[in-house]
Structure 1
Amino acid sequence: MSHALEATFAGLIGKRVTVRLHDPEGGFRDIVGYLESPITLRNRHGKLIEFSHDEIALWKEVIEKK
């Protein structure tokens, strides 16, 4: 796990993010929700999703429209 990425994600706890993960079976999958820890987010259905930083292809903070 990248310490820089872990520190970045620690600073984003409570923020809404989208994370594109490498799928082990090929391709990618996206998860979107509020970061609860550097390796977990809660999606709109209330499900807590855990991921590894090694799986991340791309990520970004989602800026909510006002």
Structure 2
Amino acid sequence: MAHGWGIHLKESPDWPLFAAFMCIVLFLSGIIAGVYCWRTGDKQPRVAIGSWFTAVQAMGMTAVFLWKS
């Protein structure tokens, strides 16, 4: 059986880039929640906004990991 030749590319996610992106998104969600709390004077929405951003970020990154693998 003859074997061909060619270029084999093996791509994988850039894990340090994803980790940096996740840290940036978490930092931004905290800033957004803090600014909202500061502008409205109400502390409960801050927790809800921060939790929602964190959950969306985790779900989005999981979807990217599963889609790419």
Question: Which TM-score band (shorter chain)?
Answer: under 0.3
Normalised by the length of structure 1, the TM-score is: 0.25
> In proportion to residue count, which structure has more strand?
1
Q: Looking at CA atoms only, which structure, 1 or 2, has the larger radius of gyration? A: 2
> In proportion to residue count, which structure has more helix?
2
Normalised by the length of structure 2, the TM-score is: 0.25
